[in-house]
Amino acid sequence: MVLFKSILAFFAVGLTLGSEFPSNETYSQNLLRESMAWMDMFYDADAGYLYDLDSNALVHGTRHSAWYAAGLLARNKHDDVEQALKITRNVISGQFKDPEKQWYGDYQIYPEEPTVGTDHYPAVMYNSWDPNWRGFIGTTFVLMMEEFPDLIPNDDQSLIIESLYNTSVGDSYRVGGVDGDNLYPAYSNPSIMRAFVSGWTGRKIGDANMTLAAETYASEVIELFERDNTLSEFNSGTYAGVSLYALTLWAKYMPEDSVMRQKGASMIKYTWETLSSLYNANIRNVAGPWDRSYGYDMTRYLSILALQIWTIIGKDKSPMNAKPYAMGHKGDFAIGPLVAILAPFHNSLLEKTSVPSTLLQFPGEHNVETTAFSPPFDTYPRNITAYLSANLTLGAETFSEDAIGGPATSANSFNPAVAQWLRPDGTVGWATYHPQVKSLVAIAGQGFLSLTYPDWQGGDKDNVGAFVILIGTNSPTGTRDITGWDGVEGVAVTITGNINMQPTISFNGIYGGAGEVINSFSVFEFWNFTYTVPSGITEAPNMMLQFKVKGE
């Protein structure tokens, strides 16, 4: 019997996506096993790297290889540890070594890349090199050192610490607004990671300056957070997840004398309080507004926040498809091992809160009001309002910024006014305002979203020519072709305002239609309802959308 069990266990680990597994495993063990089984299929043991997780033909990738290495140490079966060390050495050998370069101490995006900063491969931040990978990979190395020191030989530990030292020095080159960098304390996820890696490394090697710089930087992040106990990078399925991951590192691994240790746990609790107040367990989504989103429905794109919810209430009740690797933005499944390793500690912080029960059961109709602030982009804190009922959520934020598309200057990921509703078949309908302005007054209330352009200057209709509303496609059983709100499944929408009432309607599909889909790693097709602003209006352009879920 014992032998039979261990044979099953062997096959479960080595060959399948988990047809056989210990029925007593915890949710976090379940996430670790499933995410590792998926990555095992991409592992190239000869190279000591994972292949790319998307469609780049048989090149490898650095960041998810590092995440996988941490998972290998956690799993620790067969030759897992040996492979983890091989990957770690590879990733560090590809770390940038010239302190004169802006990308010093950062890690390659992929090992096959040409030399960054050469004539034919210019250094373009967030393209040919990504400054945030210092944080993503640096935090992973610290986690490995903290959780599995007995599995890492001394030589490798020394190499990792040298790598962390270089990455911390390189990260100190980053100053928001200088050399094209955007790392302000308001850029929550890399800010939190940066403070952590420098603070941990400074202490480890006894570099008081590095430690002090980290504490000072963390204090700036904390001060901004404590303004209204919200992350500046507010409510993003992907990046709230990264911030929570990094705050967990603060709370778990920093010593008592660090401001990160002192504040980490409460920042996690406040963040979850806000997120859970916006969560609708019937719709399995966090209501808008979303500052940076890679999709419009968390049950269809894979968010890091959903992985955390998996560890709290279990996969089948979380916003996670049974086949995570079929979802949009599936590459983020690779962070599963880190989320799983930290889950027992992270989730213990939520034990005495209402968060787990709110994630399981919608507590009833309510409104949410809060603010988030991203200096220097915001001229004032963004005013956030949301309305949640059993089958409908509406969320909006009023803002005035110095760029279009929020601090990330991405109109495609900035969703300042969003509606989601539950359709009869249990799938999720959505509509989102697509921003093309620097200022918007957007308010969500009982059954409505109200949008106004405050910068309108009497008749200057070119300034703000239209309201663009993107709407998701119907469920598989709904009509495929939409000619007006009547065709949008599951919801009745009434439009009022001083706009042209007849929208221009177009469709952006995967294989055709009027234009491109929005995110190549997480494709959502959409209908585009554009309401133009007539000339000759006498008040600021305004549009009100009233929603009623059909059948209620």
Ligand X SMILES: *[C@@H]1O[C@H](CO)[C@@H](O)[C@H](O)[C@H]1NC(C)=O
Q: Which residues bind ligand X (CB under 6 A)?
A: 22, 24-26, 92, 95, 97, 99, 162-163, 166, 172, 209, 213, 369, 380, 383, 390-391, 398, 422, 424, 434, 468, 504, 506, 508, 515, 528, 530, 552
Minimum Å distance from CB 343 to ligand X?
Answer: 13
Distance, first Cα to last Cα, the chain: 55
Nearer to ligand X, 41 or 510 (CB): 510
Nearer to ligand X, 83 or 412 (CB): 412
Nearer to ligand X, 45 or 514 (CB): 514
Helix extents (H) in 15-60: 27-40
| Amino acid at position 238, single letter | T
Tokens standing for residue 339: 């989320």
CB-based contact 507:332 (threshold 8 Å): no
Minimum Å distance from CB 433 to ligand X?
Answer: 11
Minimum Å distance from CB 311 to ligand X?
Answer: 13
Nearer to ligand X, 339 or 422 (CB): 422
Minimum Å distance from CB 379 to ligand X?
Answer: 9
Nearer to ligand X, 88 or 238 (CB): 88
CB-based contact 239:292 (threshold 8 Å): yes
Could you give the 3-state DSSP secondary structure of residue 154?
Answer: helix
Minimum Å distance from CB 264 to ligand X?
Answer: 21
Give the residue at shortest CB distance from ligand X: 172
CA dihedral 334, 338, 340, 343 (to 10 degrees): -140
Nearer to ligand X, 357 or 504 (CB): 504
**How many residues in total does the chain contain?**
552
Minimum Å distance from CB 357 to ligand X?
Answer: 18
Minimum Å distance from CB 56 to ligand X?
Answer: 25
Nearer to ligand X, 51 or 414 (CB): 414
Minimum Å distance from CB 57 to ligand X?
Answer: 29
**Between the CA of residue 372 and those of 160, 188, 267, 358, 404, what are the distances in Å?**
36, 11, 14, 22, 17
Strands 439-445 and 392-400: antiparallel
- DSSP class of 511: S
Could you give the 3-state DSSP secondary structure of residue 496?
Answer: strand
Nearer to ligand X, 166 or 276 (CB): 166
Nearer to ligand X, 158 or 479 (CB): 158
Cα–Cα distance measured from residue 507 to residue 498, given in angstroms and rounded to the nearest whole number = 25
| Amino acid at position 552, single letter | E
* Strand order across the beta sheet in which 43-44 lies: 43-44, 49-51, 60-61
Nearer to ligand X, 265 or 311 (CB): 311
Tokens standing for residue 526: 């959409």
CB-based contact 384:289 (threshold 8 Å): yes
CB-based contact 487:431 (threshold 8 Å): no
Minimum Å distance from CB 340 to ligand X?
Answer: 13
Minimum Å distance from CB 404 to ligand X?
Answer: 13
| Amino acid at position 28, single letter | S
CB-based contact 217:191 (threshold 8 Å): yes
Minimum Å distance from CB 413 to ligand X?
Answer: 12
Nearer to ligand X, 137 or 231 (CB): 137
Cα–Cα distance measured from residue 371 to residue 384, given in angstroms and rounded to the nearest whole number = 5
Minimum Å distance from CB 201 to ligand X?
Answer: 11
Q: Give me the residue label for tokens 């063990």.
A: 29
Helix extents (H) in 132-187: 133-147, 154-171
User: In sequence order, what are the residues at sequence separation of 6 or more whose Cβ sits closer than 8 angstroms to the Cβ of residue 225?
Assistant: 231, 232, 263, 267, 270
Minimum Å distance from CB 266 to ligand X?
Answer: 24
Nearer to ligand X, 266 or 546 (CB): 546
Cα–Cα distance measured from residue 501 to residue 312, given in angstroms and rounded to the nearest whole number = 45
Nearer to ligand X, 26 or 409 (CB): 26
CA dihedral 89, 31, 58, 76 (to 10 degrees): 40
Minimum Å distance from CB 324 to ligand X?
Answer: 21
Long-range CB pairs of 500-503, under 8 A, 24+ apart, other chains included: 500/531, 500/532, 500/533, 500/534, 501/531, 503/469, 503/529, 503/530, 503/531
Nearer to ligand X, 18 or 331 (CB): 18
Nearest to 375 by CA among 214, 213, 223: 223
